[in-house]
Amino acid sequence: MEKIIEVKNLTKVYGKRSAAFTALKNINLSIEKGESVAIVGKSGSGKSTLMHLLALLDKPTKGQVEINGINSTKLRGKSLNKLRNQEFGFVFQQFFMNSNDSVLENVLLPLKIAKISRFKRKKMAMEALKTVDLEDKARNKASDLSGGQKQRVCIARAIVNNPDIIFADEPTGNLDSATGDKITDLLFKLNKEKGVTLIIVTHDEDLAKLCSRIVRISDGNIISDQTVRKDLQKKSSDRREKEAARVKKANERKGN
């Protein structure tokens, strides 16, 4: 197996002196290419903080994050941006987009940064929008979409550049269960078919059990790190499919 992320003695302290708060305490974690990792824990336990550090969106107070064997603390400006733009996809609500731009413009932004030709990037962005069922909203202003639609645009933007790693912070948090399931299916399809490494922060134990590994965090510490047995992973996946089929049938019966 190939290591894609290696975290060594990671510590994050927010604030200074008497206001200092240690949100992550000396974390060590190693993630292989193609894994799907759920990060779970109570509100305030440090999940998003860890995610931001793994995704190189914030700097640790101590320790380091290696991506493909490269120590990211040594990277600056352009090379850091390039790494993030080419290898990562983000599904974070708080990074939602340029509201005044169109949906299409938002989705093709990573490709523009990567200097993909105008024709090709439009084609790729439309494909990503199709995947999340939003081709018909391509020309709309991003601010005019519903919450769930915005989340799907974020997903389209996260997958448009064929990233190696997708970081998702509560990707289904604001969605109705049918849309949430669709997004979940999409993420795991990318994982299974394209080998994309998934790192998902979630409160949803059922979603966590679809992952190959569950890392639990409490008060800035990793308190458990378990591999989900393949048969249990499959069981959760089958249960979801069954439930989705049941809901679909019930809706059809109601005439929706």
If you write DSSP's letter for every residue of 183-210 in order, what string do you get?
Answer: HHHHHHHHHHHH--EEEEE-S-HHHHTT
| 45 contributes a contact to Mg ion by CB under 5 A | no
Question: Binding segment for Mg ion among 2-10, 40-48, 69-77, 159-167 (CB under 5 A)?
Answer: 40-48
Could you say which of Mg ion, ligand ATP, none residue 145 binds, taking C-beta under 5 to 8 angstroms by partner kind? Answer: none
The pairing of beta strand 213-218 with beta strand 197-201: unpaired
Does residue 182 belong to the site contacting ligand ATP (CB under 6 A)? Answer: no
The candidate with the shortest Cα–Cα distance to 40, out of 178, 186, 206, is 206
Q: 133 or 204: whose CB is closer to ligand ATP?
A: 204
d(CA 119, CA 48): 36
Residue 21 binds ligand ATP, judged by CB under 6 A:
yes
Which of the ranges 38-46, 110-118, 121-129, 185-193 carries the binding residues for ligand ATP, by CB under 6 A? 38-46
Q: What is the C-alpha separation between 252 and 237, in angstroms, rounded?
A: 23
Choice from 1, 2, 17, 43 touching ligand ATP (CB under 6 A): 43
**Quick one: which of 10, 31, 35, 45 contacts ligand ATP (CB under 6 A)?**
45
Strand 165-169 and strand 70-71: pairing?
unpaired
User: Which lies closer to Mg ion via its Cβ, residue 148 or residue 173?
Assistant: 173
* Strand, helix or coil for residue 215: strand
Given 41, 60, 89, 163, the residue binding ligand ATP (CB under 6 A): 41
- Assess 48 for contact with Mg ion (CB under 5 A): yes
Number of residues binding to ligand ATP, judged by CB under 6 A: 12
Return the number of the residue (110 or 220) whose C-beta is nearest ligand ATP: 220
With 0-12 / 13-18 / 19 or more C-beta atoms within 10 angstroms meaning exposed / middle / buried, residue 1 is: exposed
